[in-house]
């Protein structure tokens, strides 16, 4: 993620002064592309299970290619791949949503509240965040998942959230420390406003773009993490996700048997949804950081320049 201290200062100063970010909305192609792709996959995950059959229903046609009866073919045991893909999309999106919400709550509590409270509260929260930050996340997730006999989507999501909120809390803590000493916050304190009102009215609204960026990053981490765990056989049991589909395809020797319709659809949706969230995240970065947006535009212009024009442009900037 292209988050730097300079980005934080510029974004915080822009939002704190109440200036709306330019280029927001439909003019940002990355945001539009990300919303279109992500929205289409979200609709498929929400509506697909309502119109498809039971994903565990076994037919007498095992490992058949796409046909009019089974649009995406069947698995080795005769289960409809389209039905599994629809339910798997819902399961993966559920994991992403749960982890996104939990990461938002944990990072806001330990990052924003701790930094605003200051004193020993900030020191204790910062120490706990640093401890969680240095704990290797993926090995811890594998160990916890290995010892859990019955793993549900909720359990996997909570484990992923516990191991993934610390980085966002560190980022939010730095921004909150910058906002806490701003003039308008000090003026609110002098005016006698309550601490909870200053936090919720004066500080949190200025952190919304950063919170959104952190949530998007957490959802990407959760979906990819769950897919990795499921591919290793450590994911949620009794549920369908993109990762479990890839796991069953691997066990069924789909690649060796040339059953591309079994592993390509979940892999493709996983890649497309990750790309969509990444585009949204990049767009948020550009929206809250005008310097990054200007640098991107300058880089695009340089791609269309000849060598002579590019050298003249560089000389003009010296």
Residue with tokens 């947006």: 293
**What letter does residue 74 receive in the DSSP assignment?**
B
Q: Is residue 206 within 8 Å of residue 180, measured between CB atoms?
A: no
In this prediction the pTM is: 0.80
Q: Is residue 108 within 8 Å of residue 211, measured between CB atoms?
A: yes
Q: Is residue 10 within 8 Å of residue 21, measured between CB atoms?
A: no
Distance CA 238, CA 153 (A): 9
For the chain, the structural domain boundaries read: 78-287
Q: Give bridge partners of residue 80 from the DSSP assignment.
A: 74
Compute how many other C-beta atoms are within 10 angstroms of the C-beta atom of residue 181. Answer: 8
What is the structure's pLDDT at 219?
93
What is the structure's pLDDT at 105?
94
What is the structure's pLDDT at 2?
41
What is the structure's pLDDT at 188?
86
φ/ψ of 2, rounded to 5, equals -85, 65
Q: Write out residues in the chain with pLDDT < 70, as ranges.
A: 1-26, 290-310, 312-318
CATH number for 78-287: choose from 1.10.3720.10, 3.40.50.300, 3.40.5.10, 1.10.357.10.
Answer: 1.10.3720.10
Structure confidence by residue, pLDDT tens digits, 280-314:
988 887 777 766 666 666 666 666 666 666 676 66
Structure confidence by residue, pLDDT tens digits, 70-121:
899 999 888 999 999 999 999 999 999 999 999 999 999 999 998 998 889 9
What is the structure's pLDDT at 6?
43
What is the structure's pLDDT at 236?
80
């Amino acid at each position: 993620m292209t988050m730097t201290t300079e980005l934080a200062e510029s974004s915080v100063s822009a939002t704190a002064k109440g200036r709306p970010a330019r280029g927001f909305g439909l003019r940002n192609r990355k945001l539009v592309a990300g919303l279109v792709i992500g929205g289409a996959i979200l609709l498929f995950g929400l509506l697909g299970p309502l119109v498809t059959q039971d994903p565990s229903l076994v037919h007498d046609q095992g490992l058949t290619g796409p046909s009019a009866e089974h649009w995406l073919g069947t698995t080795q045991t005769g289960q409809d791949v389209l039905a599994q893909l629809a339910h798997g999309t819902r399961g993966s999106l559920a994991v992403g949503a749960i982890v996104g919400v939990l990461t938002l709550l944990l990072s806001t509590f330990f990052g924003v509240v701790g930094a605003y409270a200051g004193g020993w509260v900030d020191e204790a929260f910062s120490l706990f965040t640093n401890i969680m930050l240095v704990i290797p996340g993926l090995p811890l997730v594998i160990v916890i998942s290995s010892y859990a006999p019955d793993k549900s989507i909720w359990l996997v999501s909570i484990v992923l959230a516990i191991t993934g909120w610390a980085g966002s809390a560190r980022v939010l803590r730095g921004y909150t420390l910058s906002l806490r000493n701003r003039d308008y916050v000090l003026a609110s304190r002098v005016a006698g406003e309550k601490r909870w009102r200053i936090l919720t009215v004066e500080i949190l609204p200025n952190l919304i773009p950063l919170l959104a960026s952190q949530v998007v990053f957490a959802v990407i981490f959760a979906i990819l993490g769950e897919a990795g765990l499921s591919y290793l056989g450590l994911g949620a049991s009794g549920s369908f996700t993109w990762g479990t589909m890839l796991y069953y395809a691997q066990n069924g020797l789909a690649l060796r048997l040339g059953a591309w319709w079994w592993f390509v659809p979940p892999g493709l949706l996983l890649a497309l949804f990750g790309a969509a969230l990444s585009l949204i995240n990049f767009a948020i970065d550009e929206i809250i950081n005008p310097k990054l947006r200007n640098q991107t535009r300058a880089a695009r212009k340089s791609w269309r320049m000849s060598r002579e024009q590019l050298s003249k442009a560089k000389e003009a900037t010296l």
